[in-house]
Amino acid sequence: MAQLIGLIGVGIMGRPMAKNLLKAGYPLVVHDRNRGPVQELVGAGARAAASPREVAGQVEILITMLPNSPDVELVALGKDGIIEGARPGLLYLDMSTISPLVSQTVGAALAPKGVRMLDAPVSGGEKGAIDAALSIMVGGDKADFEAALPVFQALGRTITLLGPLGAGGFTKLANQIIVAVNLTALGEALTLARKAGLDRELTLKALGGGLAGSKCLEQKTPNYVSGTYTPGFKVDLHFKDLGLIMEASRALGVPLPCTAVVQELFNALRVKGRGGLDHSGVITLLEELAGFPGQA
């Protein structure tokens, strides 16, 4: 019989991940502060739990998919948290993008309870979550990774063990540098092309066929063509990641000049009230700087 899995955090990413676990035949217990997605998943065959503690007390493998480090700390270590309900042998997979140092702190706090932890942040956005095509970057013990692998295979295609706990998080931060800088470069390029009077769809086709092609270009082309930036991954969340990146860069002594500029552009988007846009929406700020009318 398939292992009973718990999933805490069923938002933009967690909800399709939960559906893919159900599709793969895993019995599932879910919890989220937002009742709407929980009820949707209950309708699809999951069971609801009232707290992280209640989830942890039932399951063999527990996944969290949460916005930031404080959320993970609260769910894992706070009142009615995982630490209060976990049984020895629980395998905890934190798939959120948080500070790798916080992952290590949480893992150390849970270890005396007999909880094994992997940090396993993902890349691929909402589409990757829906298609079960995520890239999953894992840090932790090899035996725990092998135990979790069938679950990861229900959620993603590129699954890599990168080192001890925290290694997954550091890899995800490197990923987020590339994505943020790439989306900003795409925004600059497409703004230049627009100013020159070029057709956007044809420009994207030409760029995508050469060295400038990228997953970002491919996945975000519908946004650029339509001029709408419904979030697959919000500016607010990527700005949070940029903060984690700069914090890590200072701790490690690694100057990141391009990333620092991009962080300020994302900050400007948020000041303009565009934090809820998809992160490809950085183009709206660049177009405004070039003299095109701003987004309402």
Catalytic positions are 172
Give the CB-side neighbour count of residue 179, counting CA atoms within 13 A: 29
* Rounded-to-integer distance, Cα 195 and Cα 202, Å: 15
Q: Three-state DSSP class for 123?
A: strand
Nearest to 155 by CA among 4, 21, 5, 8: 21
Residues listed for the chain: 296
- Residue 60: DSSP 8-state: S
AA identity, residue 137: M
Contact, 132 vs 154, CB < 8 A? yes
Neighbour count for residue 128 (Cβ, 10 Å):
25
